Structure 1
Protein backbone atom coordinates (compact mmCIF):
# COMPACT_ATOMS: atom_id res chain seq x y z
CA UNK A 1 0.00 0.00 0.00
CA UNK A 2 2.78 2.46 0.89
CA UNK A 3 4.42 1.76 -2.48
CA UNK A 4 1.18 2.53 -4.30
CA UNK A 5 0.70 5.79 -2.37
CA UNK A 6 4.28 6.84 -3.10
CA UNK A 7 3.64 6.11 -6.77
CA UNK A 8 0.58 8.34 -6.57
CA UNK A 9 2.67 11.25 -5.25
CA UNK A 10 5.22 10.74 -8.01
CA UNK A 11 2.49 10.78 -10.65
CA UNK A 12 0.94 13.85 -9.04
CA UNK A 13 4.28 15.67 -9.19
CA UNK A 14 4.61 14.93 -12.91
CA UNK A 15 1.02 15.92 -13.81
CA UNK A 16 1.07 18.82 -16.25
CA UNK A 17 -2.61 19.14 -17.22
CA UNK A 18 -5.67 19.69 -15.07
CA UNK A 19 -7.33 16.66 -16.66
CA UNK A 20 -4.69 14.45 -15.04
CA UNK A 21 -6.21 15.10 -11.62
CA UNK A 22 -9.31 13.11 -12.55
CA UNK A 23 -7.14 10.09 -13.31
CA UNK A 24 -5.21 10.63 -10.09
CA UNK A 25 -8.36 10.51 -7.96
CA UNK A 26 -9.21 7.19 -9.59
CA UNK A 27 -5.66 5.97 -8.97
CA UNK A 28 -5.88 6.91 -5.29
CA UNK A 29 -9.26 5.20 -4.95
CA UNK A 30 -7.84 2.00 -6.41
CA UNK A 31 -4.72 2.17 -4.24
CA UNK A 32 -6.88 2.37 -1.11
CA UNK A 33 -9.42 -0.14 -2.49
CA UNK A 34 -12.40 2.05 -1.54
CA UNK A 35 -15.50 3.26 -3.37
CA UNK A 36 -14.77 6.94 -3.92
CA UNK A 37 -12.19 9.71 -3.76
CA UNK A 38 -13.20 13.30 -4.47
CA UNK A 39 -11.19 16.53 -4.59
CA UNK A 40 -13.64 19.40 -4.14
CA UNK A 41 -12.82 23.10 -4.37
CA UNK A 42 -15.71 25.31 -3.21
CA UNK A 43 -15.33 28.81 -4.59
CA UNK A 44 -16.51 31.84 -2.65
CA UNK A 45 -19.54 32.20 -4.91
CA UNK A 46 -20.58 28.61 -4.22
CA UNK A 47 -19.37 27.17 -7.50
CA UNK A 48 -18.55 23.47 -7.35
CA UNK A 49 -15.17 22.69 -8.87
CA UNK A 50 -13.26 19.46 -8.62
CA UNK A 51 -12.65 15.90 -9.66
CA UNK A 52 -13.59 12.52 -8.34
CA UNK A 53 -15.24 9.18 -8.73
CA UNK A 54 -18.84 9.88 -7.68
CA UNK A 55 -21.56 8.90 -10.13
CA UNK A 56 -22.14 11.93 -12.42
CA UNK A 57 -25.87 11.57 -11.69
CA UNK A 58 -25.17 12.22 -7.98
CA UNK A 59 -22.82 15.11 -8.74
CA UNK A 60 -25.52 16.79 -10.85
CA UNK A 61 -28.22 16.08 -8.28
CA UNK A 62 -26.05 17.60 -5.55
CA UNK A 63 -25.90 20.83 -7.52
CA UNK A 64 -29.53 20.80 -8.63
CA UNK A 65 -30.75 20.31 -5.04
CA UNK A 66 -28.31 22.97 -3.74
CA UNK A 67 -27.13 20.43 -1.19
CA UNK A 68 -24.03 22.49 -0.43
CA UNK A 69 -26.13 24.64 1.92
CA UNK A 70 -27.15 21.71 4.13
CA UNK A 71 -24.33 19.20 3.63
CA UNK A 72 -22.94 18.47 7.13
CA UNK A 73 -19.57 17.56 5.59
CA UNK A 74 -19.12 20.98 3.98
CA UNK A 75 -20.60 22.91 6.90
CA UNK A 76 -18.65 20.90 9.45
CA UNK A 77 -15.34 21.25 7.64
CA UNK A 78 -15.75 25.02 7.43
CA UNK A 79 -15.39 24.94 11.24
CA UNK A 80 -12.41 22.61 11.31
CA UNK A 81 -8.77 22.59 10.36
CA UNK A 82 -8.22 18.88 10.94
CA UNK A 83 -9.52 15.74 9.18
CA UNK A 84 -12.88 14.48 10.33
CA UNK A 85 -14.73 11.18 10.13
CA UNK A 86 -18.29 11.76 8.98
CA UNK A 87 -19.65 9.95 12.05
CA UNK A 88 -18.45 12.90 14.14
CA UNK A 89 -20.48 15.44 12.19
CA UNK A 90 -23.95 16.69 13.07
CA UNK A 91 -26.56 14.68 11.16
CA UNK A 92 -29.36 15.41 13.60
CA UNK A 93 -31.54 17.69 11.46
CA UNK A 94 -34.29 16.30 9.25
CA UNK A 95 -32.70 17.91 6.18
CA UNK A 96 -29.30 16.38 6.95
CA UNK A 97 -30.78 12.91 7.45
CA UNK A 98 -32.71 13.14 4.18
CA UNK A 99 -29.56 14.29 2.39
CA UNK A 100 -27.58 11.38 3.86
CA UNK A 101 -30.20 8.85 2.77
CA UNK A 102 -30.18 10.33 -0.72
CA UNK A 103 -26.38 10.19 -0.93
CA UNK A 104 -26.30 6.53 0.13
CA UNK A 105 -28.99 5.72 -2.43
CA UNK A 106 -26.68 7.22 -5.06
CA UNK A 107 -23.71 5.10 -4.00
CA UNK A 108 -21.71 7.53 -1.87
CA UNK A 109 -21.23 4.96 0.89
CA UNK A 110 -22.00 4.70 4.60
CA UNK A 111 -18.49 5.75 5.68
CA UNK A 112 -16.65 8.97 4.94
CA UNK A 113 -13.51 10.90 5.83
CA UNK A 114 -12.81 14.48 4.74
CA UNK A 115 -9.67 16.59 4.96
CA UNK A 116 -10.21 20.39 4.95
CA UNK A 117 -7.65 22.32 2.93
CA UNK A 118 -7.09 26.06 3.25
CA UNK A 119 -5.03 27.59 0.50
CA UNK A 120 -3.97 31.15 -0.31
CA UNK A 121 -6.38 34.08 -0.06
CA UNK A 122 -8.94 32.11 1.92
CA UNK A 123 -9.26 29.27 -0.57
CA UNK A 124 -11.21 26.31 0.82
CA UNK A 125 -11.15 22.76 -0.55
CA UNK A 126 -11.73 19.20 0.58
CA UNK A 127 -10.27 15.81 -0.12
CA UNK A 128 -12.99 13.27 0.65
CA UNK A 129 -12.91 9.49 0.78
CA UNK A 130 -15.98 7.31 1.14
CA UNK A 131 -16.78 3.63 1.23
CA UNK A 132 -19.37 1.04 2.26
CA UNK A 133 -18.07 -1.18 5.05
CA UNK A 134 -18.43 -1.82 8.81
CA UNK A 135 -17.14 0.80 11.25
CA UNK A 136 -14.11 -1.21 12.50
CA UNK A 137 -12.86 -1.80 8.94
CA UNK A 138 -13.13 1.89 8.08
CA UNK A 139 -11.53 3.06 11.30
CA UNK A 140 -8.57 0.73 10.81
CA UNK A 141 -8.08 1.89 7.22
CA UNK A 142 -8.17 5.58 8.10
CA UNK A 143 -5.91 5.11 11.11
CA UNK A 144 -3.34 3.34 8.95
CA UNK A 145 -3.27 6.00 6.23
CA UNK A 146 -4.39 9.29 7.77
CA UNK A 147 -0.94 10.88 7.76
CA UNK A 148 -0.33 9.95 4.13
CA UNK A 149 -3.76 11.26 3.14
CA UNK A 150 -3.15 14.64 4.78
CA UNK A 151 0.07 15.03 2.78
CA UNK A 152 -1.68 13.91 -0.40
CA UNK A 153 -4.54 16.36 0.15
CA UNK A 154 -2.26 19.36 0.37
CA UNK A 155 -0.05 18.31 -2.53
CA UNK A 156 -3.15 17.68 -4.64
CA UNK A 157 -4.54 21.10 -3.85
CA UNK A 158 -1.21 22.80 -4.60
CA UNK A 159 -1.08 21.03 -7.98
CA UNK A 160 -4.65 22.06 -8.79
CA UNK A 161 -3.82 25.70 -7.99
CA UNK A 162 -0.77 25.50 -10.23
CA UNK A 163 -2.56 23.87 -13.16
CA UNK A 164 -5.78 25.89 -13.06
CA UNK A 165 -4.42 29.01 -14.70
CA UNK A 166 -6.33 32.19 -14.10
CA UNK A 167 -8.31 30.70 -11.24
CA UNK A 168 -6.58 32.29 -8.30
CA UNK A 169 -8.85 32.37 -5.22
CA UNK A 170 -10.73 35.62 -4.90
CA UNK A 171 -9.35 38.33 -2.67
CA UNK A 172 -11.63 39.83 -0.06
CA UNK A 173 -12.76 43.39 0.57
CA UNK A 174 -11.76 45.07 3.85
CA UNK A 175 -14.21 44.72 6.73
CA UNK A 176 -15.36 47.65 8.83
CA UNK A 177 -14.43 47.70 12.55
CA UNK A 178 -18.03 46.79 13.49
CA UNK A 179 -18.08 43.89 11.02
CA UNK A 180 -14.82 42.61 12.49
CA UNK A 181 -16.22 42.91 16.03
CA UNK A 182 -19.40 41.03 15.06
CA UNK A 183 -17.54 38.11 13.45
CA UNK A 184 -15.00 37.97 16.28
CA UNK A 185 -17.68 37.52 18.94
CA UNK A 186 -19.38 34.83 16.85
CA UNK A 187 -16.03 33.06 16.37
CA UNK A 188 -15.56 33.10 20.15
CA UNK A 189 -18.84 31.21 20.52
CA UNK A 190 -21.18 33.98 21.68
CA UNK A 191 -24.76 33.95 20.46
CA UNK A 192 -26.05 36.79 18.31
CA UNK A 193 -27.97 38.17 21.26
CA UNK A 194 -24.87 38.13 23.47
CA UNK A 195 -22.75 39.70 20.72
CA UNK A 196 -25.31 42.46 20.18
CA UNK A 197 -25.41 43.22 23.93
CA UNK A 198 -21.63 43.38 24.15
CA UNK A 199 -21.49 45.75 21.18
CA UNK A 200 -24.36 47.85 22.51
CA UNK A 201 -26.48 47.42 19.38
CA UNK A 202 -29.72 45.68 18.47
CA UNK A 203 -29.76 42.16 17.01
CA UNK A 204 -31.23 43.66 13.83
CA UNK A 205 -28.18 45.93 13.47
CA UNK A 206 -25.87 43.02 14.27
CA UNK A 207 -27.48 40.96 11.52
CA UNK A 208 -26.87 43.82 9.10
CA UNK A 209 -23.15 43.84 10.00
CA UNK A 210 -22.93 40.07 9.63
CA UNK A 211 -24.66 40.07 6.26
CA UNK A 212 -22.45 42.91 5.04
CA UNK A 213 -19.34 41.01 6.14
CA UNK A 214 -20.62 37.80 4.55
CA UNK A 215 -21.15 39.62 1.25
CA UNK A 216 -17.67 41.18 1.31
CA UNK A 217 -16.10 37.80 2.09
CA UNK A 218 -18.12 36.03 -0.57
CA UNK A 219 -19.18 33.51 2.05
CA UNK A 220 -22.00 31.00 1.69
CA UNK A 221 -23.20 31.48 5.26
CA UNK A 222 -22.12 32.89 8.61
CA UNK A 223 -19.94 29.90 9.50
CA UNK A 224 -18.12 30.25 6.18
CA UNK A 225 -17.73 34.01 6.77
CA UNK A 226 -16.12 33.42 10.17
CA UNK A 227 -13.83 30.72 8.76
CA UNK A 228 -12.77 32.89 5.85
CA UNK A 229 -12.18 35.93 8.06
CA UNK A 230 -9.92 33.83 10.31
CA UNK A 231 -8.14 32.36 7.29
CA UNK A 232 -7.51 35.83 5.88
CA UNK A 233 -6.23 37.12 9.20
CA UNK A 234 -9.06 39.68 9.37
CA UNK A 235 -10.08 38.45 12.81
CA UNK A 236 -7.93 36.79 15.44
CA UNK A 237 -9.33 34.57 18.15
CA UNK A 238 -6.95 33.47 20.90
CA UNK A 239 -6.24 29.78 21.29
CA UNK A 240 -7.48 29.94 24.90
CA UNK A 241 -10.99 30.44 23.59
CA UNK A 242 -11.01 26.99 22.09
CA UNK A 243 -12.46 24.12 23.99
CA UNK A 244 -10.73 20.79 24.49
CA UNK A 245 -12.27 19.36 21.32
CA UNK A 246 -10.75 22.06 19.17
CA UNK A 247 -13.99 23.92 18.55
CA UNK A 248 -15.31 27.21 19.83
CA UNK A 249 -17.40 27.57 23.01
CA UNK A 250 -21.03 27.27 22.06
CA UNK A 251 -20.25 25.45 18.83
CA UNK A 252 -22.67 22.63 18.02
CA UNK A 253 -20.94 19.49 19.30
CA UNK A 254 -20.10 16.52 17.16
CA UNK A 255 -22.72 13.82 17.21
CA UNK A 256 -22.30 10.21 16.24
CA UNK A 257 -24.93 8.54 14.11
CA UNK A 258 -25.99 4.96 14.47
CA UNK A 259 -26.30 4.46 10.73
CA UNK A 260 -25.89 6.53 7.63
Structure 2
Protein backbone atom coordinates (compact mmCIF):
# COMPACT_ATOMS: atom_id res chain seq x y z
CA UNK A 1 0.00 0.00 0.00
CA UNK A 2 1.35 3.43 -0.90
CA UNK A 3 2.86 5.47 1.90
CA UNK A 4 0.47 8.31 1.16
CA UNK A 5 -2.47 6.04 2.00
CA UNK A 6 -0.78 4.77 5.16
CA UNK A 7 -0.40 8.35 6.38
CA UNK A 8 -3.99 9.18 5.47
CA UNK A 9 -5.42 6.15 7.26
CA UNK A 10 -3.41 7.04 10.34
CA UNK A 11 -4.86 10.54 10.24
CA UNK A 12 -8.37 9.14 9.86
CA UNK A 13 -7.82 7.01 12.92
CA UNK A 14 -6.72 10.07 14.88
CA UNK A 15 -9.80 12.11 13.92
CA UNK A 16 -11.76 12.87 17.08
CA UNK A 17 -14.68 14.72 15.49
CA UNK A 18 -16.37 15.21 12.12
CA UNK A 19 -14.51 18.47 11.54
CA UNK A 20 -11.19 16.63 11.69
CA UNK A 21 -12.58 14.00 9.33
CA UNK A 22 -13.64 16.74 6.92
CA UNK A 23 -10.05 18.05 6.93
CA UNK A 24 -8.78 14.54 6.25
CA UNK A 25 -10.95 14.35 3.13
CA UNK A 26 -9.35 17.56 1.83
CA UNK A 27 -5.96 16.08 2.63
CA UNK A 28 -6.86 12.94 0.69
CA UNK A 29 -7.74 15.06 -2.33
CA UNK A 30 -4.43 16.89 -2.16
CA UNK A 31 -2.31 13.77 -1.65
CA UNK A 32 -3.72 12.12 -4.75
CA UNK A 33 -3.67 15.42 -6.68
CA UNK A 34 -7.24 15.22 -7.96
CA UNK A 35 -9.68 18.04 -8.64
CA UNK A 36 -12.35 17.09 -6.10
CA UNK A 37 -13.30 14.42 -3.61
CA UNK A 38 -16.73 13.87 -2.05
CA UNK A 39 -18.07 11.74 0.79
CA UNK A 40 -21.83 12.00 1.38
CA UNK A 41 -23.74 9.84 3.85
CA UNK A 42 -27.51 9.51 4.26
CA UNK A 43 -29.07 7.52 7.10
CA UNK A 44 -32.43 5.80 6.93
CA UNK A 45 -33.72 8.55 9.25
CA UNK A 46 -32.86 11.13 6.60
CA UNK A 47 -29.95 12.63 8.56
CA UNK A 48 -27.06 13.55 6.27
CA UNK A 49 -23.41 14.44 6.58
CA UNK A 50 -20.93 15.32 3.87
CA UNK A 51 -17.27 16.18 3.47
CA UNK A 52 -16.65 17.54 0.00
CA UNK A 53 -14.35 19.83 -1.91
CA UNK A 54 -16.85 20.95 -4.57
CA UNK A 55 -17.36 24.73 -4.92
CA UNK A 56 -20.19 25.89 -2.65
CA UNK A 57 -22.20 27.52 -5.50
CA UNK A 58 -22.36 24.14 -7.25
CA UNK A 59 -23.42 22.38 -4.04
CA UNK A 60 -26.16 24.97 -3.47
CA UNK A 61 -27.42 24.70 -7.06
CA UNK A 62 -27.37 20.89 -6.91
CA UNK A 63 -29.44 20.79 -3.71
CA UNK A 64 -31.82 23.57 -4.72
CA UNK A 65 -32.63 21.94 -8.06
CA UNK A 66 -32.85 18.37 -6.70
CA UNK A 67 -30.31 17.26 -9.29
CA UNK A 68 -29.92 13.93 -7.49
CA UNK A 69 -33.19 12.84 -9.09
CA UNK A 70 -31.68 13.02 -12.59
CA UNK A 71 -27.97 12.50 -11.87
CA UNK A 72 -26.85 9.29 -13.66
CA UNK A 73 -24.07 8.85 -11.08
CA UNK A 74 -26.43 8.84 -8.09
CA UNK A 75 -29.05 6.70 -9.85
CA UNK A 76 -26.48 4.10 -10.91
CA UNK A 77 -24.77 3.90 -7.53
CA UNK A 78 -28.06 3.60 -5.67
CA UNK A 79 -28.88 0.51 -7.72
CA UNK A 80 -25.46 -1.16 -7.52
CA UNK A 81 -22.54 -2.06 -5.28
CA UNK A 82 -19.49 -1.61 -7.50
CA UNK A 83 -17.51 1.51 -8.48
CA UNK A 84 -18.97 3.49 -11.35
CA UNK A 85 -16.82 5.24 -13.95
CA UNK A 86 -18.74 8.30 -15.12
CA UNK A 87 -17.74 7.83 -18.74
CA UNK A 88 -19.56 4.49 -18.84
CA UNK A 89 -22.89 5.97 -17.79
CA UNK A 90 -25.70 7.09 -20.07
CA UNK A 91 -25.56 10.87 -20.38
CA UNK A 92 -27.67 10.98 -23.55
CA UNK A 93 -30.80 12.56 -22.06
CA UNK A 94 -31.13 16.33 -22.26
CA UNK A 95 -31.37 16.80 -18.45
CA UNK A 96 -28.28 14.63 -17.88
CA UNK A 97 -26.26 16.52 -20.51
CA UNK A 98 -27.36 19.84 -19.01
CA UNK A 99 -26.39 18.64 -15.53
CA UNK A 100 -22.94 17.57 -16.70
CA UNK A 101 -22.38 20.83 -18.55
CA UNK A 102 -23.43 22.91 -15.56
CA UNK A 103 -21.11 20.91 -13.32
CA UNK A 104 -18.16 21.59 -15.64
CA UNK A 105 -19.07 25.29 -15.69
CA UNK A 106 -18.98 25.26 -11.87
CA UNK A 107 -15.47 23.85 -11.61
CA UNK A 108 -15.95 20.09 -11.77
CA UNK A 109 -13.58 17.92 -13.76
CA UNK A 110 -14.72 15.91 -16.76
CA UNK A 111 -13.69 12.55 -15.27
CA UNK A 112 -14.90 10.74 -12.21
CA UNK A 113 -15.65 7.51 -10.44
CA UNK A 114 -18.05 6.96 -7.58
CA UNK A 115 -18.33 4.15 -5.06
CA UNK A 116 -21.64 3.26 -3.35
CA UNK A 117 -21.28 2.22 0.29
CA UNK A 118 -24.04 0.60 2.32
CA UNK A 119 -23.69 0.65 6.07
CA UNK A 120 -25.74 -0.45 9.06
CA UNK A 121 -29.46 0.26 9.50
CA UNK A 122 -30.05 1.36 5.93
CA UNK A 123 -27.23 3.91 5.75
CA UNK A 124 -26.13 4.78 2.21
CA UNK A 125 -23.01 6.73 1.31
CA UNK A 126 -21.35 7.84 -1.89
CA UNK A 127 -17.60 8.37 -2.28
CA UNK A 128 -16.56 10.22 -5.43
CA UNK A 129 -13.22 11.14 -6.98
CA UNK A 130 -13.43 13.83 -9.67
CA UNK A 131 -10.66 15.13 -11.93
CA UNK A 132 -9.94 17.09 -15.09
CA UNK A 133 -7.88 15.04 -17.56
CA UNK A 134 -7.85 13.10 -20.80
CA UNK A 135 -9.07 9.52 -21.01
CA UNK A 136 -5.55 8.01 -21.14
CA UNK A 137 -4.38 9.93 -18.09
CA UNK A 138 -7.56 9.06 -16.20
CA UNK A 139 -7.24 5.39 -17.10
CA UNK A 140 -3.67 5.33 -15.79
CA UNK A 141 -4.75 7.04 -12.58
CA UNK A 142 -7.62 4.65 -11.88
CA UNK A 143 -5.47 1.60 -12.60
CA UNK A 144 -2.78 2.87 -10.27
CA UNK A 145 -4.84 4.16 -7.36
CA UNK A 146 -8.29 2.56 -7.47
CA UNK A 147 -7.39 0.00 -4.79
CA UNK A 148 -6.07 2.71 -2.44
CA UNK A 149 -9.08 4.94 -2.89
CA UNK A 150 -11.62 2.14 -2.40
CA UNK A 151 -10.00 1.30 0.92
CA UNK A 152 -9.92 4.98 1.85
CA UNK A 153 -13.64 5.27 1.02
CA UNK A 154 -14.58 2.50 3.44
CA UNK A 155 -12.26 3.91 6.11
CA UNK A 156 -13.89 7.34 5.81
CA UNK A 157 -17.33 5.73 6.11
CA UNK A 158 -16.34 3.61 9.10
CA UNK A 159 -14.83 6.62 10.86
CA UNK A 160 -17.80 8.87 10.10
CA UNK A 161 -20.19 6.31 11.58
CA UNK A 162 -18.00 5.84 14.65
CA UNK A 163 -17.73 9.58 15.28
CA UNK A 164 -21.48 9.89 14.86
CA UNK A 165 -22.08 7.21 17.46
CA UNK A 166 -22.82 4.35 15.09
CA UNK A 167 -19.66 2.30 15.14
CA UNK A 168 -19.47 -1.27 13.96
CA UNK A 169 -20.86 -4.14 15.97
CA UNK A 170 -18.52 -6.45 17.91
CA UNK A 171 -16.84 -8.88 15.53
CA UNK A 172 -16.05 -12.56 15.68
CA UNK A 173 -12.35 -13.41 15.70
CA UNK A 174 -10.83 -14.20 12.32
CA UNK A 175 -9.03 -17.49 11.89
CA UNK A 176 -5.30 -17.40 10.99
CA UNK A 177 -6.11 -18.42 7.40
CA UNK A 178 -8.83 -15.76 7.09
CA UNK A 179 -6.36 -13.19 8.40
CA UNK A 180 -3.70 -14.31 5.93
CA UNK A 181 -6.14 -14.17 3.01
CA UNK A 182 -7.34 -10.64 3.78
CA UNK A 183 -3.79 -9.44 4.44
CA UNK A 184 -2.64 -10.57 1.00
CA UNK A 185 -5.62 -8.96 -0.70
CA UNK A 186 -5.02 -5.73 1.23
CA UNK A 187 -1.43 -5.79 -0.05
CA UNK A 188 -2.76 -5.75 -3.61
CA UNK A 189 -2.40 -9.43 -4.47
CA UNK A 190 -4.92 -10.99 -6.83
CA UNK A 191 -6.92 -13.99 -5.66
CA UNK A 192 -4.73 -16.25 -7.79
CA UNK A 193 -1.56 -14.79 -6.28
CA UNK A 194 -2.97 -15.02 -2.75
CA UNK A 195 -3.95 -18.66 -3.25
CA UNK A 196 -0.52 -19.48 -4.63
CA UNK A 197 1.20 -17.76 -1.71
CA UNK A 198 -0.94 -19.70 0.79
CA UNK A 199 -0.54 -22.93 -1.22
CA UNK A 200 -4.27 -23.49 -1.45
CA UNK A 201 -6.78 -23.56 -4.31
CA UNK A 202 -8.69 -20.44 -5.32
CA UNK A 203 -11.88 -22.23 -4.29
CA UNK A 204 -10.52 -22.72 -0.76
CA UNK A 205 -9.35 -19.12 -0.69
CA UNK A 206 -12.85 -18.00 -1.63
CA UNK A 207 -14.25 -19.96 1.32
CA UNK A 208 -11.89 -18.16 3.72
CA UNK A 209 -12.75 -14.77 2.24
CA UNK A 210 -16.50 -15.36 2.43
CA UNK A 211 -16.19 -16.56 6.01
CA UNK A 212 -14.21 -13.44 6.95
CA UNK A 213 -16.71 -11.24 5.13
CA UNK A 214 -19.58 -12.78 7.12
CA UNK A 215 -17.77 -12.34 10.45
CA UNK A 216 -17.01 -8.69 9.67
CA UNK A 217 -20.51 -7.93 8.44
CA UNK A 218 -19.04 -6.74 5.14
CA UNK A 219 -20.99 -6.37 1.91
CA UNK A 220 -18.09 -7.36 -0.34
CA UNK A 221 -14.41 -8.28 -0.24
CA UNK A 222 -13.16 -4.69 -0.40
CA UNK A 223 -15.41 -3.78 2.51
CA UNK A 224 -14.09 -6.80 4.47
CA UNK A 225 -10.48 -5.73 3.90
CA UNK A 226 -11.26 -2.16 4.94
CA UNK A 227 -13.09 -3.32 8.07
CA UNK A 228 -10.28 -5.68 9.05
CA UNK A 229 -7.68 -2.93 8.61
CA UNK A 230 -9.69 -0.32 10.50
CA UNK A 231 -10.22 -2.71 13.41
CA UNK A 232 -6.55 -3.67 13.58
CA UNK A 233 -7.27 -7.30 12.69
CA UNK A 234 -4.72 -7.26 9.86
CA UNK A 235 -1.58 -5.17 9.37
CA UNK A 236 0.51 -4.28 6.33
**TM over 0.5, shorter chain:** yes
| Residues 47 and 99 of structure 1: CA distance in aligned 2, closer, same or farther (over 3 Å) | farther
2:19 maps to: 19
Following the alignment from structure 2 to structure 1, what is the Cα–Cα distance between the partners of residues 27 and 150?
16
Q: Structure 1 stretches of 5 or more lacking a match?
A: 169-260
2:108 is the counterpart of 1:108: yes
Aligned to 2:49: 49
Note closer, same or farther for the CA distance 1:47–1:69 as it changes in structure 2 (3 Å cut): farther
Q: CA deviation at 1:48?
A: 5.0
Q: Secondary structure of 1:19's match?
A: helix
Residues 20-50 of structure 1: per-residue CA shift (max 9 Å, x gap): 1211111111111111011011344766530
* Alignment match, 1:135: 135
Name the CA distance, whole Å, in 2 between partners of 1:72 and 1:24: 27
| Separation of aligned partners in 1, 2:46 and 2:105 | 24
Contact residue 81 and residue 116 of structure 2 kept, 8 A: yes
Q: Where does structure 1 differ by over 6 angstroms across 4 or more consecutive aligned residues? A: none
- Count matched residues: 168
The SS at the match of 1:108 is coil
Quick check: which has more Rg, 1 or 2? 1
* TM-score relative to the length of structure 2: 0.67
Q: Is residue 158–residue 167 contact of structure 2 (8 Å, CA) maintained in 1?
A: no
1:74 equivalent to 2:74? Answer yes
Greater per-residue helix proportion: 2
Q: Secondary structure at the match of 2:18?
A: coil
Quote the RMSD (CA, aligned, Å). Answer: 2.0
Structure 2 Cα separation of the partners of residues 66 and 45 of structure 1: 19
Closer, same or farther: CA 75–44 of 1 in aligned 2, 3 Å: farther
After superposition, where does 1:232-243 map in structure 2 within 5 Å? none
Kindly tell me: are residues 111 and 35 of structure 1, through their superposed partners in 2, closer, same or farther at Cα, counting changes over 3 Å?
same
Could you tell me how far apart the structure 1 residues matched to 2:167 and 2:97 are?
34
Q: 1:3 to 1:162 in 2, by over 3 A?
A: same
Counterparts of 2:105 and 2:91, CA distance in 1: 16
2:8 is paired with a residue whose SS is helix
Q: TM-score scaled to structure 1, two decimals?
A: 0.61
